[in-house]
Chain A
Amino acid sequence: MAQTADADFKTRLQSWLPKLVLSPSLAMVLVFVYGFIIFSVYLSFTDSRLLPSYGWAGWENYSKLWRLSHWEISLTNMGTFAVLYISICTVLGLSLAIFLDQKVRAEGVIRTIYLYPMALSFIVTGTAWKWFLDPGIGLENVLQTWGWTSFEFDWIKNRDFAIYTVVLAAVWQTSGFVMAMFLAGLRGIDNEILKAAQMDGASNWNLYRRIIIPQLRPAFLSAFVILSHLAIKTFDLVIALTGGGPGRATELPATFMYSYTFSRNQMGIGAASATIMLMTIAAIMIPYLYVELREKK
């Protein structure tokens, strides 16, 4: 019966179509992301120097990696940077969103001003801040010529403080975006609950603490994901702002991996460091993803 066969074919096509549509993306991700990750992990066990080479080297790259003080510095910096960057961005973003939510006049303009830094490339941000923070021609010099002669702000040249300048520039760049996310979250909160609580005599402070902020949980988690992802990938900013310096004071794992692979001709060690980076990312992201996606069901 032609008609039934036709209908059968159509239904079967329809049931395969979604998977068919999804498959190009999936294939791309499997090959270009997971395939490459496997390749990179494999490289970490080889003797690659200038280019990939396939001689087996066992754990040698890893043992060398952990003996490098350079790597230790990168990890410490990553810890400092990530903790400060994520927490400051979150707090700042939330606070600004709460303030901006208060029926402020010119909200559109202010919001645009907070958001625009995200539009800039890290090269632009790094160049601008590098100038701004330079003691000779930047803020220190300006305030000194304006009369505050004892003002000092040479963090970017100081081995102990340089990493904080990276935090500063990175926060400047992305806190506006975090604010936008929280603002969107705040706007989605049901007013009826608030009004009811207000009638019960709750203060603004308590309203925020007990009702609003807990309801922002999805936004907090999204902010955390996006900020961690940006923190781990921070590379262009460091290169443009400090070049990893002074000395190695602002090296991060991403810049470490890059320099060891591409200019120090120690691709095996670079791959090892990349593997460690990936493991760290997985350790943070997989539990989060599991919790989030499980709830969706």
Chain B
Amino acid sequence: MRLYLKTTVIALALTAATGAVKADGHGGVEVLHWWTSGGEAAALNVLKGDLEGQGIGWTDMPVAGGGGEQAMTVLRARVTAGNPPTAVQGLGFDIIDWANQGALANLNDVAAAEGWDDVVPAALQQFAKVGGEWVSAPVNVHSTNWVWANKAVLDANGIAVPETWEDFAAALDTLAAAGVTPIAHGGQPWQEATVFDAVAMSALGPDGYQAAFIDLDPEALGSDAMKEAFDRMAVIRANVDENFSGRDWNLATAMVINGEAGFQMMGDWAKGEFLNAGKVPGEDFLCFRFPGTQEQVTFNADQFMMFDQGGAVSDEQAALASAILSPSFQSAFNVVKGSVPARTDVSDADFDACGQQGMADLAAASESGNLFGSMAHGHANEAAVKNAMYDVITAHFNGEYISETAVDELITAVELAQ
């Protein structure tokens, strides 16, 4: 036992020595995010290098999992403990929620100096500027109502880019008859919601979309158009392969890339997969808006919310915000990520054909009032409602409800979530 006790004492002493090295104060910036792999991590590295060039240290706090779910848990713990990170990756209504808690810093000085009000689209500003104060720096604008198609497969079956839902449904039939999986799909709630996003926009139209998903009007949620949207989802369901359940989105994209499937409805981050596989837009793959939504853009934007560190905005935090919205970073990051810049004054020279189309669509939709926050990605309503909708959409997609039931369930779910 003497040995046991000796070891204990030594162990304690050792660990006391190491444990005494407390967490460093914020000399630089601490960033909480979930971009832990591939292109995003590389792109974030660009930002890091940028800041290090200005002499600002970058403390990385990555927490992967659940598309940000774990990171949000960690964030709550940090805020409650009183030491929030400098910047946190965030989306849509979550940012508004944190701003309403008074937890975010006021970036108006930086925004004024750099003229953010003029270059960031109004619909996007809704999520970055709360109560007249800029609280976060948008990194990009993703759009979700895209369809990606394998050109060779379409050509081989004589299918042109569908303009209407009926065209699309007919194209699906043609592909099914030819033995190709019509739609590549990954069976996860957020993916089903992404598809539903576009389908609902096509069935409800922009006004219906606004009423149902943004205003949460029960009449709009229970309308015939909503039922039509669910019916269309049932058609899509009938046109996916039997192994779709649980599949990751990039594996579904891979099916389109190698010709196993014809179409995938996915946000523009799918483009990155095509480019990585060496495919060329227009030659190997096509990108077009979901039939019936050609005028609209449903968007979601990754942003870095800046947390109040107590006192005025520090130079480092301001530098980070400024670096994020700099045209050079916006261009460099978005070329890789597949999204379009959050500033409308960035040149589209470095972007590929689909990227350029995306930028043009964004500007046009912003002008004509057709730019809507994506319901599937937390930009139409708050997290509780979004998740409640996910539940209904995914249950319907997996056959738990028929369309009429789904509509009723949707109304109930939204009510319980508020």
**Chain A contact surface mostly:** loop
Contact with B along A262-297 (1 / 0, CB 8 A): 111110000000000000000000000000000000
Contacts of B412 in A (CB 8 A): 67
Contacts of A51 in B (CB 8 A): 76, 79-80, 101
Contact across chains for A157 and B391 when beta carbons are under 8 A apart: no
Closest to A265 in B: B383
Contacts of B394 in A (CB 8 A): 247-248
Contact across chains for B245 and A246 when beta carbons are under 8 A apart: yes
| A7 CB, nearest partner CB in chain B, Å | 29
Please tell me if B395 contacts chain A, counting CB pairs below 8 Å: yes
Contact across chains for A247 and B384 when beta carbons are under 8 A apart: no
| Of B65-73, B134-142, B285-293, B358-366, the one touching chain A | B65-73
| A54 CB, nearest partner CB in chain B, Å | 14
Contact across chains for A157 and B246 when beta carbons are under 8 A apart: yes
The residues in B between 87 and 117 inclusive whose CB is less than 8 angstroms from any CB of A are 94, 97-98, 101
Closest to B399 in A: A159
Contact across chains for B69 and A266 when beta carbons are under 8 A apart: no
Contacts of A265 in B (CB 8 A): 94, 97, 382-384
Please tell me if B398 contacts chain A, counting CB pairs below 8 Å: yes
Chain A interface (Cβ < 8 Å from any Cβ of B): 49-51, 64, 67-68, 70, 135-136, 154, 156-159, 239, 242-243, 245-248, 258-259, 262-266
A262 vs B417: C-alpha distance when bound (angstroms): 14
Interface residue total, chain B, C-beta cutoff 8 A:
32
Interface centre among B97, B243, B246 (most CB of A within 10 A): B246
Contacts of A70 in B (CB 8 A): 391
Task: From known contacts A49-B384, A157-B243, A262-B73, infer whether A246 and B97 are also in contact, taking CB-CB under 8 Å.
Answer: no
Closest to B416 in A: A64
Contacts of A266 in B (CB 8 A): 384, 417
Please tell me if B187 contacts chain A, counting CB pairs below 8 Å: yes
Contacts of B416 in A (CB 8 A): 64, 67-68
Q: 15 interchain pairs (CB within 8 A)? A: A51-B80, A64-B416, A67-B412, A67-B416, A159-B400, A242-B246, A243-B246, A247-B189, A247-B395, A248-B394, A259-B69, A262-B76, A263-B72, A264-B384, A265-B383
For the complex with contacts A157-B246, A158-B245, A246-B246, 15 further pairs of A-B residues with Cβ separation under 8 Å are A51-B76, A136-B243, A243-B66, A243-B246, A245-B189, A245-B246, A247-B189, A247-B398, A248-B391, A258-B73, A263-B66, A263-B73, A263-B383, A265-B97, A266-B417
Closest to A156 in B: B246
Contacts of B69 in A (CB 8 A): 259, 262-263
The residues in B between 18 and 76 inclusive whose CB is less than 8 angstroms from any CB of A are 65-66, 68-69, 72-73, 76
Interface centre among A51, A259, A264, A266 (most CB of B within 10 A): A264
Closest to B385 in A: A264
Closest to B93 in A: A265
Interface centre among A51, A259, A265 (most CB of B within 10 A): A265
| A87 CB, nearest partner CB in chain B, Å | 28
Contacts of A245 in B (CB 8 A): 187-189, 245-246
Contact across chains for B76 and A159 when beta carbons are under 8 A apart: no
Contacts of B97 in A (CB 8 A): 49-50, 265
Contacts of A264 in B (CB 8 A): 383-384, 387-388, 417
The residues in B between 235 and 288 inclusive whose CB is less than 8 angstroms from any CB of A are 243, 245-246
Contact across chains for B391 and A135 when beta carbons are under 8 A apart: no
A279 vs B388: C-alpha distance when bound (angstroms): 26
Contact across chains for B384 and A246 when beta carbons are under 8 A apart: no
Contacts of B395 in A (CB 8 A): 247-248
Contacts of A158 in B (CB 8 A): 245
A264 vs B383: C-alpha distance when bound (angstroms): 5
A264 vs B79: C-alpha distance when bound (angstroms): 17
Contacts of B65 in A (CB 8 A): 239
The residues in B between 377 and 418 inclusive whose CB is less than 8 angstroms from any CB of A are 382-384, 387-388, 391, 394-395, 398, 400, 412, 416-417
| A244 CB, nearest partner CB in chain B, Å | 9
Contacts of A50 in B (CB 8 A): 76, 97-98, 101
| A223 CB, nearest partner CB in chain B, Å | 29
Contacts of A159 in B (CB 8 A): 398, 400
| A212 CB, nearest partner CB in chain B, Å | 35
Closest to B245 in A: A157
A242 vs B391: C-alpha distance when bound (angstroms): 16
Contacts of B76 in A (CB 8 A): 50-51, 262
| B406 CB, nearest partner CB in chain A, Å | 13
A68 vs B73: C-alpha distance when bound (angstroms): 23
A295 vs B187: C-alpha distance when bound (angstroms): 53
3 closest A-B pairs by CB: A157-B245, A262-B73, A265-B383
Task: From known contacts A67-B416, A248-B391, infer whether A135 and B243 are also in contact, taking CB-CB under 8 Å.
Answer: yes
| B337 CB, nearest partner CB in chain A, Å | 23
Closest to A246 in B: B245
| A204 CB, nearest partner CB in chain B, Å | 42
Contacts of A68 in B (CB 8 A): 416
Contacts of A258 in B (CB 8 A): 73
Closest to A53 in B: B101
Closest to B188 in A: A245
Closest to B187 in A: A246
| A164 CB, nearest partner CB in chain B, Å | 15
Interface centre among B65, B68, B76, B412 (most CB of A within 10 A): B76
A259 vs B383: C-alpha distance when bound (angstroms): 11
| A112 CB, nearest partner CB in chain B, Å | 24
A157 vs B398: C-alpha distance when bound (angstroms): 11
Contacts of A136 in B (CB 8 A): 243
| A131 CB, nearest partner CB in chain B, Å | 12
| A271 CB, nearest partner CB in chain B, Å | 13
| A152 CB, nearest partner CB in chain B, Å | 11
Contacts of A156 in B (CB 8 A): 246
| B172 CB, nearest partner CB in chain A, Å | 23
Contact across chains for A259 and B387 when beta carbons are under 8 A apart: yes
| B95 CB, nearest partner CB in chain A, Å | 11
A258 vs B74: C-alpha distance when bound (angstroms): 12
| B76 CB, nearest partner CB in chain A, Å | 6
Contacts of B66 in A (CB 8 A): 239, 243, 263
Closest to B74 in A: A262
Contacts of B187 in A (CB 8 A): 157, 245-246
A158 vs B80: C-alpha distance when bound (angstroms): 39
A177 vs B246: C-alpha distance when bound (angstroms): 31
Contacts of A262 in B (CB 8 A): 69, 72-73, 76
